Amino acid sequence: MEIVTDPSASVPPAGGSAVTIGAYDGVHVGHQALLADLRTRAAARGLATVVVTFDRHPATVVRPDSAPLLLCDLDQKLELLAAAGVDRTVVVPFDEERANESAEDFVSEILIGALASRLIVVGEDFHFGHGRKGNVALLKEMGVEAGFSVEGISLATAFDDSVEAVPISSTRIRSLVAEGHVAEAAALLGRPHQVRGTVAHGDGRGGADLGFPTANVEVPAGIAVPAVGIYAGWYERPDGGRWPAAVSVGTRPTFYGDQGPLMVEAFLLDFKGDLYGEEAKVSFVAQVRQDELRFDSADELVAQMHRDVEATRAALSAP
């Protein structure tokens, strides 16, 4: 996949492009269905497939106080789009100037000028541009003169707890992650939710005092982390090696009361070695214990950790 970070320097694909636009946070199964539709339509017309996305979530500029936590950072999003078979991804810098740009100017600059768009495929409720004034109707109107067609398609749906079909959305998945329902989130993502970060030195208590050395993964601010609890998951190393892991999200109340910082700590099952300083990827498969308990002694905590490890093994070996 070709990645373009400067739209003004973009050379339009030969023969024109089939384009979709959006934040694409998480690149979930709804996004994947839309991208599959884009590929099919593009192939029928001999067009290159292009995703136009942004270097940050637009809400961080437009409404920073209520901007959502992200399901993936930009690097992971680009990896997921490449895996979805997209020919090119254009990463548009989103700042105050871009936020105040009219929908018409965005179409002229990016869709027509940079990409020679011949087909636009978006969700039927898609909005863009200053004041969200751009929509499918505007795209169709401009397409008549500029020579591109527009398809506004229904978003993929899944069933909720009431057995009612509802659109799959990044917002819905974020809520599931925030509640600790990582298995349900994985079904909508098409894979387990993953966080990434550098393994940092902690207080050393896990290995020295408890016999459970953990990797303290420093997840960047702004990334969605599951609710406090214990999870069965996978730890992926920079060399691609993957290990089953019992993952704790919490503040370690046994030692720090309610004053500890929120931490993501992964205990790699049957692993010995030094992880400090490496870039880790931690995927959450299932919640094995809700909340976080405060124990009266370290021995009680260790006993519970043994139970958590066995629950993790069972969860990861389940069909």
Res 198: pLDDT: 97
Is residue 10 domain-shared with residue 149, that is, in the same domain?
Answer: yes
**Cα atoms found within 13 Å of the Cα of residue 211, Cβ hemisphere only:** 9
Q: Is residue 257 part of a domain?
A: yes
Q: Is residue 31 part of a domain?
A: yes
pLDDT digit string, tens, across residues 24-53: 999 999 999 999 999 999 999 999 999 999
Q: Is residue 174 part of a domain?
A: no
Q: Is the pLDDT of residue 266 over 90?
A: yes
Is residue 25 domain-shared with residue 140, that is, in the same domain?
Answer: yes
**Cα atoms found within 13 Å of the Cα of residue 236, Cβ hemisphere only:** 11
Cα separation values, 13 from 4, 18, 50, 140, Å: 12, 10, 9, 21
| CATH number for 88 | 3.40.50.620
Is residue 126 domain-shared with residue 222, that is, in the same domain?
Answer: no
Q: Is residue 186 part of a domain?
A: no
Q: What would the two tokens of residue 312 be?
A: 């993790």
Q: Do 2 and 87 meet the contact criterion of CB atoms below 8 Å apart? A: yes
Is residue 217 domain-shared with residue 286, that is, in the same domain?
Answer: yes
Q: Is residue 15 part of a domain?
A: yes
Is residue 95 domain-shared with residue 211, that is, in the same domain?
Answer: no
Domain stop point among 103, 126, 155: 155
Q: Is the pLDDT of residue 211 over 70?
A: no
pLDDT digit string, tens, across residues 53-99: 999 999 999 999 999 999 999 999 999 999 999 999 999 999 999 99
Domain stop point among 106, 128, 155: 155
Q: Is residue 207 part of a domain?
A: yes
Res 86: pLDDT: 97
Range scoring the smallest mean pLDDT among 126-140, 144-158, 255-269: 255-269
Q: Is residue 39 part of a domain?
A: yes
Res 207: pLDDT: 46
Q: Do 198 and 217 meet the contact criterion of CB atoms below 8 Å apart? A: yes
Spatial separation of the C-alpha atoms in residues 152 and 150, rounded to whole Å? 7
Specify the number of domains making up the chain: 2
Is residue 17 domain-shared with residue 106, that is, in the same domain?
Answer: yes
Dihedrals phi, psi of 70, to nearest 5 degrees? -95, 145
- Compute the mean pLDDT over every residue in the chain, rounded to the nearest whole number: 90
Domain stop point among 129, 155, 181: 155
Q: Is residue 98 part of a domain?
A: yes
Range scoring the smallest mean pLDDT among 8-17, 253-262, 294-303: 253-262
Is residue 148 domain-shared with residue 11, that is, in the same domain?
Answer: yes
Range of the domain at 30: 2-155
Res 256: pLDDT: 58
Dihedrals phi, psi of 140, to nearest 5 degrees? -65, -40
pLDDT digit string, tens, across residues 229-256: 999 999 999 999 999 999 999 887 655 5
Is residue 111 domain-shared with residue 247, that is, in the same domain?
Answer: no
Q: What would the two tokens of residue 202 be?
A: 């902690």
Is residue 197 domain-shared with residue 146, that is, in the same domain?
Answer: no
Q: What would the two tokens of residue 81 be?
A: 């789009």
Is residue 149 domain-shared with residue 267, that is, in the same domain?
Answer: no
Q: What mean pLDDT comes out for the span 150-157?
A: 86
Q: What mean pLDDT comes out for the span 260-274?
A: 89
Is residue 227 domain-shared with residue 146, that is, in the same domain?
Answer: no
| CATH number for 246 | 2.40.30.30
Res 290: pLDDT: 87
Is residue 138 domain-shared with residue 265, that is, in the same domain?
Answer: no
